[in-house]
Amino acid sequence: MFRTISMKTMFLFSFFLVSLFVVQPALAKDEVRYTKNNIHSQTRDGNTYKASYANYTAPGDGHLVIPAGSKIVLKKKNRKGFRFTFADGSKKGVFEYHAPRMQMSIDEYLDIITSAKPTSLSGLSKVDLKGVKSGKALVGMSRKGVMAALGYPAAHKTPSLESSTWIYWANRFRTVGVDFDANGKVKKVR
């Protein structure tokens, strides 16, 4: 009987260990990445940034934009998000993630919002660059420009990037709609 319990226990423990690695992908070592889009964040102490897949574009006091093209170092990753530092080590960040709402894994999401190679905003129009710099959607911006300025829209509010309206969270209680015309240019921000 002891041997049977021991084998069952070993099987369950092995299954538990395997599920940890499947459900929560880990970093083998620190990984340098470059942001493809602005990351809207909030800080209370000026040193630790808190960001979210919801891209709170106007969360209130302490709102800071981590610019597109920033070099960051991923420190820890799991199914609930990731931790990072700026490449120079001056600041750290926590990015919350919710896979069911985004309908993709954390790895897929990281590939959308970051790159292993430096990113460029070349090819964007003047109005796109103005919006990216200010961290806002402006009338006349392209879809690519809006994504660079505001981030990837939360899939539970914008299930398709082909939609004529992208919905972003301004904060936990209010959303912002970005309406596109037939040419893919912003016609209204509401």
Q: Inform me whether the pLDDT recorded for 15 exceeds 70.
A: no
Boundaries of domain holding 183: 126-189
Burial annotation 58-82 (CB, 10 A radius, 16+ → b, else e): ebeeeebbbebbbebbbbebeeebb
Residue 167 lies in a domain: yes
Task: Examine the domain organization and report whether 97 and 139 are in the same domain.
Answer: no
Task: Give domain status of residue 25, yes or no.
Answer: no
Q: Which residue has the higher pLDDT, 6 or 140?
A: 140
Domain membership of residue 94 (yes or no) is yes
Share of residues in the chain with pLDDT > 90 (%)? 82
Instruction: Among 66, 84, 115, identify where a domain stops.
Output: 115
**85, part of any domain:** yes
Single residue among 115, 143, 174 that ends a domain in this structure: 115
Q: Is residue 63 part of a domain?
A: yes
Examine the pLDDT at 10 and tell me if it is beyond 90: no
Q: Which of 85, 115, 145 is the last residue of a domain?
A: 115
Domain count, the chain: 2
Same domain as 38, residue 100: yes
Please give the span between the terminal C-alpha atoms of the chain, in angstroms, as a whole number: 68
What's phi and psi for 21, nearest 5 deg?
A: -75, -30
Q: Is 120 helix (H, G, I), strand (E, B) or coil?
A: coil
Total length of the chain: 190
Q: What is residue 112's predicted lDDT score, i.e. its pLDDT? A: 96
- Distance between CA atoms of 55 and 170, rounded to whole angstroms? 8
Instruction: Say what the pTM is.
Output: 0.84
Shared domain for 76 and 139, answered yes or no, is no
CA atoms within 13 A on the CB side of 174: 8
DSSP 14: H
Angle between helices 126-134 and 143-150 (to 10 degrees): 20
Average pLDDT in the chain: 89
Residue pLDDT, tens place only, 21-53 = 444 455 668 999 999 999 999 998 888 999 999
Residue at 6 is within a domain = no
